[in-house]
Amino acid sequence: MIRTLALFGILFGTLALRPQITAAVESGQPAVPYTCNKLDYGIYWYSYNDTSQKAYSDGRAIPGFYDPSKPTIIFTHGWERNRVSDGRLAGTNLSEGRTNFAWRLYDTNVAEFWLDQGWNVGLFQWTQLANDRASPGLTFFPSPYFAQSKIWTPDGPAGMRWAKCSKDEYEDRPEFTPGVSVARLFYEAYQDALAQYSGSEIRLAGNSLGAQLVIAMAQIAYTEDQLPSSRRPQRIALLDPYWGPTRGFDYSFMPGGKRPGEISREYVQALKQQGVVFEWVKSSAVNEYNWGDTNEPLIDTISRTDYKLDLPEDSSIWNYHKAGWVLYFWSKDFPAPDECTQSSTPDEGCTPTGRTAYASSNTIERASEIMDPDGDLETSDGGRWEQVTGRTTGTAEDDTFRCIGRCPCSDTALVFDTTASMDGILGDVQTAATSIVGQLFTINPSARIAVVEYRDSEADAFGARTVLPLSTDQGAIVNAINSLTAQGGGDTPEFVLSGVREAIGLDWFDGQTGTILLIGDAAAKDPEPLSGFTTISTINVALANRLVIHGLPQGSAAAASFTPLANGTSGSIFSSSDYPTIVQAVTAACSLPEGCTRIPQLYGMHSVRKL
């Protein structure tokens, strides 16, 4: 019955019963070597020189280790295969196999960067439970299937057994093992350790299986009503997570038989709706080559930053796996790094966009922007970043990153109707061309802007043409706008679709959000003579190229043509009745950063004619 209630508590947020096990280390005591005949787990507060003391169950302060008024980060580790036996002190039943914050590859203790800035640094130790044997059948890449199951339920294939000092020796008698999952143990330890907390921020961070653990624990914290909002985690870092083995593994003990990666996605989406900010970094290949679940759909929900490290020659995959969390902690010692333009390369260096990229030192506001670029928590439009510089140094000091997918607007095409009826409107836009272009570069300093015009090829020499390809030269862009002349045109419908198709054919960044600002005052010929272009076919081509169209129609005829283009690509319409001038309408459309990250990614802006 106890085990059933525990599983129900994890999945549905009800209160589970605590295991009645004598603690191996009492509250307020240092992290001594494990006594292998007793189980020890819980939150330890760390200070300098890798010293630590176990949190008090009433959440009281521990001078030099924990101050309830300070911002707090709590880290948790993943699989600890053979760590207890490998750390055994010869001739004793004691083991020094505890996780700590040392990065021995570079002789650095990364907790101290946070201590220097006035943070509490905690570590949820569950080593004896995480120290379980590799799952059967996988020899090339051992899998933590058994340890993973304990995160979610006490009723998995390994129960809640814990490691003793000899390799593959476990305590599995029910009276000496917890009756609840590790996520529940973590939650109860968290609840106790922070019982008197009054600081400004609580952040969780998990490496490997620890990423699953912080998600599962946070779900309990947000579904049960025992914690005030001020004591719930506001920011969660998933640091080179391991999402679990896939092929040939039985997950019938999980709710609905779902794999941990799928359940994690569901929980993350629910927590995101509660305002939790997630950061996800990948530093190794532990989930690739069929070793694990890559969990790619989660990128759409919270974005991901990929390290491209080149560690010392003898470094194993485990060094790369650890680097994800070590560099996150180390980045606290430096200002948030530059985000680079997409064209930046390791050889040529980083050309800054004016924004910051992934780092623990980012503000929570910037971390939220990276997680969800359009600010709409209901959408799935996460992006991807990858490392540009700092690949070989092993420190976070020189790291920079560039966006490589679903990025904020970098490319914009201004598409103008230049038939005679546009004379007044075009003149207004040209008068304000410098400020309009400046507005676009304010949104994104690394922007590229193109100028396209269209007319009526049945009455004019051309249907549509590129006046200026995508360019970063503000002067050239302004000159291109000012070079346009309004003339010609025949019947009222015009070659709007040719103008959009001309813009779609520009040399956009691959996988990048593009913006089309379509400016005109007449309806589209649909279908167009000669080309056969239709609104539907144009929408499909825009979607295939990840582009969004916004419209600023003047009058009902233009609105009837522009609205389907905008709606079909998740764009917006800026009605002339809402803005007194075309310039104000253009400025409003250019001020939509959320539009730059919608999945279709083609922005159309139609011009507004003064009445």
Q: Is residue 247 part of a domain?
A: yes
Let me know whether 112 and 223 are in one domain. yes
Chosen domain end from 405, 438, 453: 405
Let me know whether 419 and 397 are in one domain. no
Let me know whether 434 and 300 are in one domain. no
Looking at residue 24, the DSSP 8-state letter turns out to be S
Q: Is residue 608 part of a domain?
A: no
What single-letter amino acid sits at 21? Answer: I
Let me know whether 581 and 489 are in one domain. yes
424-469 per-position pLDDT tens digit: 888 888 887 788 788 777 666 667 899 999 998 766 678 899 999 9
1 pLDDT band (50/70/90 cuts)?
Answer: very low
Let me know whether 376 and 518 are in one domain. no
Looking at residue 134, the DSSP 8-state letter turns out to be P
318-328 per-position pLDDT tens digit: 899 999 999 99
User: How many structural domains does the chain have?
Assistant: 2
What single-letter amino acid sits at 439? Answer: Q
| Contact between residue 184 and residue 124 where contact means Cβ atoms under 8 Å apart | no
Residue 9 pLDDT: 44
CATH number at residue 200: 3.40.50
How many whole angstroms separate alpha carbon 495 and alpha carbon 457? 7
Let me know whether 395 and 465 are in one domain. no
Let me know whether 444 and 462 are in one domain. yes
332-361 per-position pLDDT tens digit: 999 999 998 877 899 999 988 778 999 999
Residue 570 pLDDT: 77
How many whole angstroms separate alpha carbon 549 and alpha carbon 422? 20
Task: Tell me the β-bridge partners of 206.
Answer: 76, 238
How many whole angstroms separate alpha carbon 96 and alpha carbon 84? 7
Let me know whether 210 and 301 are in one domain. yes
State whether residue 248 is helix, strand or coil.
coil
Q: Is residue 450 part of a domain?
A: yes
Residue 437 pLDDT: 84
Query: Which residues have CB under 8 Å from 473's CB, separation 6+?
Result: none
16 pLDDT band (50/70/90 cuts)?
Answer: very low
CA distances (Å), 174 to each of 150, 154, 161, 310, 342, in order? 14, 11, 9, 46, 56
pTM, 2 dp: 0.76
Percent of the chain surpassing pLDDT 70:
86
Residue 82 pLDDT: 86
Q: Is residue 281 part of a domain?
A: yes
Residue 576 pLDDT: 66
Q: Is residue 100 part of a domain?
A: yes
pLDDT at 245 over 90: no
Residue 23 pLDDT: 65
When mean pLDDT is compared across 10-19, 136-145, 259-268, the lowest value belongs to 10-19
What single-letter amino acid sits at 216? Answer: A
Q: Is residue 516 part of a domain?
A: yes
Let me know whether 342 and 378 are in one domain. yes
pLDDT at 105 over 90: no
When mean pLDDT is compared across 116-120, 161-165, 178-182, the lowest value belongs to 161-165
CA distances (Å), 488 to each of 31, 143, 261, 528, in order? 83, 71, 60, 18
Comparing CA positions, the residue from 284, 305, 309 lying closest to residue 208 is: 284
Domain that holds residue 529: 411-597
Let me know whether 384 and 417 are in one domain. no
Backbone angles phi, psi at 300, to 5 degrees: -60, -30
203 pLDDT band (50/70/90 cuts)?
Answer: very high
How many whole angstroms separate alpha carbon 215 and alpha carbon 10? 11
Let me know whether 450 and 366 are in one domain. no
User: What value does the mean pLDDT take over residues 495-524?
Assistant: 87
Residue that is written with structure tokens 């009745």 in the block: 577
459-496 per-position pLDDT tens digit: 667 889 999 999 989 999 999 999 999 988 666 799 99
Residue 572 pLDDT: 84
Chosen domain end from 363, 384, 405: 405
Chosen domain end from 382, 405, 428: 405
What single-letter amino acid sits at 314? Answer: D
State whether residue 479 is helix, strand or coil.
helix
Give the burial string for 42-71 (b: 16+ CB within 10 Å, else e): bbbbbbeeeebbbbbbebeebeebbbbebe
How many whole angstroms separate alpha carbon 133 and alpha carbon 164? 12
Q: Is residue 285 part of a domain?
A: yes
pLDDT at 534 over 60: yes
How many whole angstroms separate alpha carbon 245 and alpha carbon 111? 30
How many whole angstroms separate alpha carbon 171 and alpha carbon 531? 76
User: What value does the mean pLDDT take over residues 396-400?
Assistant: 95
Q: Is residue 433 part of a domain?
A: yes
CATH number at residue 557: 3.40.50.410
Comparing CA positions, the residue from 35, 9, 11 lying closest to residue 24 is: 35
What single-letter amino acid sits at 18? Answer: R
Comparing CA positions, the residue from 227, 373, 233, 232 lying closest to residue 301 is: 373
Residue 459 pLDDT: 61
Let me know whether 451 and 512 are in one domain. yes
State whether residue 28 is helix, strand or coil.
coil
